[in-house]
């Protein structure tokens, strides 16, 4: 038995008015296939080009280890030169990923390779971010701290993206005081005996090819898997919904600092508590048996 997933709608091109009225206003995901075809990046943005232009940069790396009380919010797990990392990507599968790499700050020359889409969103010009991953590397399912509307462009290869509307949160074993689900759930092959609520979840899926863009509305859960080595760029616009704007403000100013404080005070017991509560709260809400509680992650 697999997750209940529907293919995300695709178009080759779309007008600004149609995109805004039919997708942004309705908060509906969409893949636009040819939005980047007139960008220099469409021809240039391959791993070898990134190596040439940014190979001497030291980059932060993340892997798929479980969250630890020893880690700060978004702390990197390792670092290496971009040239070494790209060689690693090209030579073999690796779990190491680059996450939230600030393009404008770190490699400003790359900003000449793309155009800011005139697509009905007020994009934040200071925040184009790059993400890199090796074959079969995965990004834990999560939603973004700022509830932004996201334009997610993929380059060099293929990437599988699974999305869930925020309304599906009750079925996803959300970890309290966090933006993630239980990290020991395999969203490629979920075990419904262990995670019965997932049987009720209705999600969306797509495979992004080189140059394609996925629109992710505010607060959408997303799980990413690099089917080949590659990299992506996200452009973002602040949430339009006032409720989401308030949630974003709470996440940035309260939630993440409270979580970091509790990690320091309670250590691994805090992580274990949150993982247990993810199951207890999910099963109680759905009137599922609560006596089953997974062992803590890790």
Q: HSE on the CB side for 6, CA within 13 Å?
A: 11
Mean pLDDT for 2-9 is 97
Mean pLDDT for 205-220 is 98
pLDDT above 60: residue 71: no
Please state, rounded to an integer, the average pLDDT across all residues of the chain.
Answer: 92
Residue 245 φ/ψ, nearest 5 degrees: -65, -40
Inter-residue contact 137 to 159 (CB < 8 Å): no
Q: What is the pLDDT of residue 145?
A: 94
Q: What is the pLDDT of residue 298?
A: 42
Nearest to 214 by CA among 240, 196, 235: 235
Helix, strand, coil content of the chain in percent (nearest 5): 30, 25, 40
pLDDT above 50: residue 127: yes
Q: Buried b / exposed e across 205-224, counting CB within 10 Å, b at 16+?
A: ebebebbbbbbbbbbbbbbb
How far is it, in rounded angstroms, from Cα 16 to Cα 6?
Answer: 25
Inter-residue contact 255 to 176 (CB < 8 Å): no
H or E segment to which residue 60 belongs: strand 58-61
Give the torsion sign (CA, 59, 62, 63, 68): positive
245-270 confidence digits (pLDDT tens): 999 999 999 999 999 999 999 999 99
272-283 confidence digits (pLDDT tens): 999 999 999 999
Inter-residue contact 125 to 116 (CB < 8 Å): yes
Q: HSE on the CB side for 100, CA within 13 Å?
A: 8
161-195 confidence digits (pLDDT tens): 999 999 999 999 999 999 999 999 999 999 999 99
Residue 123 DSSP label: B
141-154 confidence digits (pLDDT tens): 999 999 999 999 99
Nearest to 208 by CA among 10, 3, 2, 6: 10
198-207 confidence digits (pLDDT tens): 999 999 999 9
152-167 confidence digits (pLDDT tens): 999 999 999 999 999 9
Within 190-267, residue ranges assigned H as helices are 242-250, 256-266
225-243 confidence digits (pLDDT tens): 999 999 999 999 999 999 9
For the entire predicted model, the pTM comes to 0.92
pLDDT above 90: residue 67: no
Parallel, antiparallel or unpaired: strands 97-102 and 213-216:
unpaired
DSSP labels for 137-186?
-EEEEE--TT--EEEEEEESS-EEEEEE-GGGGGGTTBPTTSSBB-TT--
Q: Which residues pair with 81 in a beta bridge?
A: 58
pLDDT above 70: residue 297: no
How far is it, in rounded angstroms, from Cα 12 to Cα 283?
Answer: 42
Q: What is the pLDDT of residue 287?
A: 87
The 3-class secondary structure across 83-108, one letter per residue, is HHHHHHHHHCCCCCEEEEEEHHHHCH
């Amino acid at each position: 038995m697999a997750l209940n997933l529907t293919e995300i709608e695709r178009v080759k091109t779309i007008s600004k008015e149609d995109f805004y009225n039919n997708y942004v206003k309705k908060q509906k995901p969409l893949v636009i296939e040819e939005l980047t075809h007139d960008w220099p990046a469409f021809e240039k943005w391959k791993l070898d080009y990134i190596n040439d232009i940014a190979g001497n940069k030291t980059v932060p790396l993340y892997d798929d280890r479980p969250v630890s009380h020893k880690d700060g919010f978004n702390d990197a797990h390792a670092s290496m030169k971009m040239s070494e990392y790209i060689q690693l990507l090209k030579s073999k599968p690796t779990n190491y990923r680059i996450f939230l790499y600030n393009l404008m700050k770190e490699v400003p020359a790359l900003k000449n390779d793309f155009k800011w889409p005139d697509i009905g969103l007020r994009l934040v010009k200071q925040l184009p971010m790059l993400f890199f991953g090796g074959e079969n590397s995965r990004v834990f399912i999560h939603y973004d701290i700022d509830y932004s509307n996201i334009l997610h462009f993929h380059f060099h290869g293929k990437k599988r993206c699974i999305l869930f509307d925020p309304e599906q949160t009750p079925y996803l074993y959300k970890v309290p005081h966090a933006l993630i689900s239980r990290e020991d759930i395999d969203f490629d092959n979920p075990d419904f005996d262990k995670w019965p609520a997932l049987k009720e979840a209705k999600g969306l899926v797509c495979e992004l090819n080189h140059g394609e863009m996925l629109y992710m509305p505010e607060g959408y859960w997303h799980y990413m898997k690099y089917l080949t080595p590659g990299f992506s760029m996200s452009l973002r616009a602040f949430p339009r919904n006032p409720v989401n704007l308030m949630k974003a403000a709470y996440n940035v100013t309260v939630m993440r600092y409270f979580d970091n404080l509790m990690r320091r005070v309670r250590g691994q017991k805090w992580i274990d508590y949150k993982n247990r509560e993810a199951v207890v709260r999910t099963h109680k809400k759905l009137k599922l048996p609560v006596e089953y509680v997974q062992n803590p992650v890790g």
